[in-house]
Amino acid sequence: MGSIVSLTALFCIYAVSELIAMRTRAILSTVLGISVILLAGFWSGLLPQTIIKDAQVSGIGMGVVGMLIVSMGTTIDFTELKQEWKVVVTSVLCVVFAVAAIILIGAFVMDPKIAISGSPIFAGGNAATLIMLAAAKEKGLEYVGTFCLVLLVTQKFFGIPIASFALRHLARQLRVDPGFVAQYSEEAEKKAEAARKRPLAMPSAFDKPSVYLAKLGLVATLSFYAARLTGGHIHYLVMCLILGTLFFALGFLDKGILAKTQSSGLIIFFVTIVIFTNLGATTPQQVLSVLPPLIWSAVLGVAGLCAAALLCSRLFRMPFTLAVSLGITCTFGFPTTMLISQEVSEAMGKTEAQRKALLNFLLPKMLVAGFVTVTITSVVLAGFVVNIL
């Protein structure tokens, strides 16, 4: 496929998936729609497995993802960040309980080595998978490596519907609360106004799309070098979120700056498509060969996660649906955490004030949860679990 043909096909798949998400009121999310359409295309032979490579979007997607994360940092201020410790604790406990359930109970219903290797992959993404794949290869466990790859690719098929259902239920409760709507719908305007009075705020003459893009690029670049100074202990994308929050607090970045660049749709498209780069390598035969342990891993992982969510909902007096949504981010991570928050807010808000309130409430929590589970907790757990494989 030529690059323009491949790119156009991906644009069409993305558009159809967004329309499906809108028509189903986010029951079927955009990411889930893309996954299903791409898999159907790959397995039927209608789409080449190299379509994403042919479209040449991978390099751009990985290049602009830092800018997108920086922009996400402007949805959080330090006052709110202090309140997100409950989100962090809930996310970590949900992942730990899920991993424990898969290892301890899974050993009785499937190969213990598969249970051990699959548990940190359920808890996170690519980094945890790479750790387990290297360990499986070193020990000559090829079938375990196959299972790890299939679980990585397919876990979003059960994680996204659970998150979508839970967030829709939560949004339905929140939108009828006048106090909630008033508090969160007005926050954005208040913070934006306050930003003008902060140390690094720039005059209105600089309010240009090109300047906004330059600002995002500068902070993303600074994040890259700051992450390197930590010796890799803080991931580049986590640093983007931290510095995005910091420079928003200082007034250098505007609230929701990405939308002001007039290129947010294109940037989100590139970042979203990148997560499907390895999908073409998954065959029906691979899925069928590991289907029983795949199902057991999903069932046990979700059960353990729900047990932790129930505990946290009681301890922190947060809705059970919110706790489940925070924990299940481990199965998909960013940018799905952003996309699903936007889709649910748009679908469930009946007025502009309700949509804004829901987004301001859900997005920071889902972003923080996704980074905690996928970027940090899963890697730590993989480093521990690999020693008992």
Which pLDDT score is estimated for 192? 52
Contact 88, 366 (CB under 8 A): no
Question: For residue 145, is it within any domain?
Answer: yes
Angle, CA 367 vertex, CA 149 and CA 268 arms, to 5°: 75
Give the burial string for 86-113 (b: 16+ CB within 10 Å, else e). bbbebbbbbbbbbbbbbbebbeeebbeb
For residue 364, give its domain range. Answer: 53-388
Question: For residue 46, is it within any domain?
Answer: no
Question: For residue 332, is it within any domain?
Answer: yes
Which pLDDT score is estimated for 79? 62
The full 3-state SS of the chain, as one line of letters, equals: CCHHHHHHHHHHHHHHHHHHHHHCCCCCCHHHHHHHHHHHHHHHCCCCCCHHHHHCCHHHHHHHHHHHHHHHHCCCCHHHHHHCHHHHHHHHHHHHHHHHHHHHHHCCCCCHHHHHHHHHHHCCCHHHHHHHHHHHHHCCCHHHHHHHHHHHHHCHHHHHHHHHHHHHHHHHHHCCCHHHHHHHHHHHHHHHHHHCCCCCCCCHHHCCHHHHHHHHHHHHHHHHHHHHHCCCCCCHHHHHHHHHHHHHHCCCCCCCHHHHCCCHHHHHHHHHHHCCCCHHHCCHHHHHHCHHHHHHHHHHHHHHHHHHHHHHHHHHCCCHHHHHHHHHHHHCCCCHHHHHHHHHHHHHCCCHHHHHHHHHHHHHHHHHHHHHHHHHHHHHHHHHHHHHC
Question: For residue 164, is it within any domain?
Answer: yes
Question: For residue 252, is it within any domain?
Answer: yes
Digit-by-digit pLDDT tens for the chain (389 residues) are 678 999 999 999 999 988 888 787 666 777 778 888 988 899 898 999 889 888 888 778 767 888 887 887 787 666 656 667 899 999 999 999 999 999 999 989 988 888 988 888 888 766 677 677 777 777 877 778 778 878 877 888 889 899 999 999 999 999 988 888 888 876 555 655 554 566 777 667 778 889 999 999 999 999 999 989 988 777 787 788 889 888 988 888 887 788 888 888 888 888 878 767 767 777 788 778 788 999 999 999 999 999 999 999 999 999 999 999 999 999 888 778 888 999 899 989 989 889 989 998 999 899 889 888 886 787 778 778 777 77
Which pLDDT score is estimated for 378? 78
- Find the largest Cα–Cα distance for the chain: 66
Question: For residue 276, is it within any domain?
Answer: yes
For the chain, what is the domain count? 1
Which pLDDT score is estimated for 131? 73
pTM of the model: 0.73
Which pLDDT score is estimated for 197? 60
Task: Give the rounded distance of the alpha carbon of 324 from its chain centre.
Answer: 14
